Amino acid sequence: MRNWKNLLVMSVLILGVSATGFVACGGKTTTGKTHEVTTAAGNKYSPEELTINKGDTVNFTLGATHNLIETDKATFDAKKKDPKSGGFSLELGKKGSKKFDTAGTFWFVCGPHVAVGMRLKITVK
């Protein structure tokens, strides 16, 4: 009788752990790959250009003196920092991520260093 009880407790524990594992797995909706963008010496993003697939996510890790502002191509080309309306941005030294669900080209600049060319271009295929 005591052994049977232990078996029951064990079964419940095992089922509980399996159920938790299933939920953790099922809750993950990321289907694409994850890419990393950091900042590097010489006031640069690393990499400065990135090509990814629709559904991929980019993790950004910024050094303390760098931020990230999404802009449009004209602003990017002119080395200006006017933000794109509704665009993505990160403050100085922050971490963040963005999932890219639509194909196109996405333009980002660093506010303090865009004048010296600190820019990031992400192409989503």
Interface with Cu ion (CB under 5 A)? 66, 110, 113, 118
Q: Which of 85, 93, 88 is nearest to 122 (CA)?
A: 88
- Return the number of the residue (15 or 116) whose C-beta is nearest Cu ion: 116
- Residues linked to residue 108 through DSSP beta bridges, in sequence order: 70, 120
CB of 75 to Cu ion, least distance (A): 16
For residues 45 and 38, the answer to whether their CB atoms sit within 8 Å is yes
Distance CA 105, CA 88 (A): 14
Q: What is the DSSP string of 43-78?
A: TEEESSEEEE-TT-EEEEE--TT--EEEE-HHHHHT
CB of 118 to Cu ion, least distance (A): 4
* Cα dihedral sign, 102-40-63-76: negative
- Return the number of the residue (56 or 68) whose C-beta is nearest Cu ion: 68
CB of 100 to Cu ion, least distance (A): 22
- Return the number of the residue (44 or 56) whose C-beta is nearest Cu ion: 44
- Return the number of the residue (9 or 116) whose C-beta is nearest Cu ion: 116
CB of 108 to Cu ion, least distance (A): 11
